[in-house]
A and B are shown apart, each in its own frame.
Chain A
Amino acid sequence: GAVVSQHPSRVICKSGTSVKIECRSLDFQATTMFWYRQFPKQSLMLMATSNEGSKATYEQGVEKDKFLINHASLTLSTLTVTSAHPEDSSFYICSAGTSGVPNEQFFGPGTRLTVL
C-alpha cells in the first residue's frame, strides 16, 4: 500500500525557536495533505488542509501565522511551528490524499515535538 513518511519522528527544541516537519508521500502523488495535532490522551484534531500550489486552509482556532504550511510539490508538505512554546508540545500527524483513481488517503506515523 501507499506510504506516507514524516521527518523527523521526534524533535526537542528550545522555546522561541522554529521547527519544520516534513510529510512525504513516497510512492504516489498527493494533491491534498492534511495536518493533525494530538495532545496526550486525546484524539487527533485537524489543523489544516494543504493543497499543492495553493494556500492552506486552516481550521477554526488554528493560527496560520504560527503554523506555516507549504505544499510545494505533489510529494511534500511541510509544517513549520514558528516561535515554538511549551504549549505547542504535541504529536503532529499528516495524511496525504492521491489525485488518481481510485482516490486514496494515508496517514503518516507522526512527529513528536517537545518544546523546552
Chain B
Amino acid sequence: SQQGEEDPQALSIQEGENATMNCSYKTSINNLQWYRQNSGRGLVHLILIRSNEREKHSGRLRVTLDTSKKSSSLLITASRAADTASYFCAPISETSYDKVIFGPGTSLSVIP
C-alpha cells in the first residue's frame, strides 16, 4: 500500500495570503495527485505531478515534488474564501493495483 500524510492538519489564513501544505509518502511513486474536498461534497481533482517532474503549475496552484525526500507541497497563491476546503494528497505507486491509504488531509480556512 501507499500512504500519504498531509501537514499541517489545519491551516487558517487571511484572504489574499498564500497557503502551503505538505504531503509525505512512504514508497516510490508513479505520480502524486492533489484533491480538494469542500465540506459535504466529493473529491475534486486539482493537479497531478509525475515522478519525473519537480514542479507543476495550474492557475493559482503550484505543486512541487521531491522524490528523494518522498514529499510534495501544494501552494495556493492569493487565497480566496472559496479555497476553504480539505486537501488530500494521493501518492500513486508504480503499480496500478497498489491501494492508497489517505492521511487526515489539511483543513484550510481562508478568512475573508
Chain A residues with a Cβ under 8 A of chain B: 1, 6, 9, 30-32, 34, 36, 40, 43-46, 49, 51, 91, 93, 95, 97-99, 102-110, 112
Contact = CB atoms under 8 A, between A and B. Distances in A.
B92 A105 contact: yes
Interface residues of B, number: 27
Interface stretch (B59-67, B74-82, B96-104): B96-104
Nearest to A34: B99
A88 B94 CA distance: 33
A93 B44 CA distance: 12
Nearest to B94: A103
B105 A95 contact: no
A31 B96 CA distance: 8
A55 to B, nearest CB: 14
B6 to A, nearest CB: 9
B43 A104 contact: no
Contacts of B100: 34, 46, 95, 105
B42 A44 contact: no
Most A CB contacts (10 A, CB to CB) among B40, B90, B99 go to B99
A103 B96 CA distance: 5
Interface string B26-46: 000011010100001111110
Contacts of A93: 42-43
Contact of A107 (B90, B99, B101): B90
A1 B35 CA distance: 14
A45 to B, nearest CB: 8
Nearest to B91: A105
25 contacts: A9-B42, A31-B97, A32-B96, A32-B97, A34-B100, A36-B102, A43-B105, A45-B102, A46-B100, A46-B101, A49-B97, A49-B99, A91-B42, A95-B90, A95-B100, A98-B96, A103-B30, A103-B94, A103-B96, A104-B31, A106-B33, A107-B43, A108-B43, A109-B44, A112-B40
Given A32-B96, A44-B88, A102 B42 contact: no
Closest 8 CB pairs of A and B: A97-B96, A110-B42, A109-B42, A103-B96, A32-B97, A44-B102, A105-B92, A43-B102
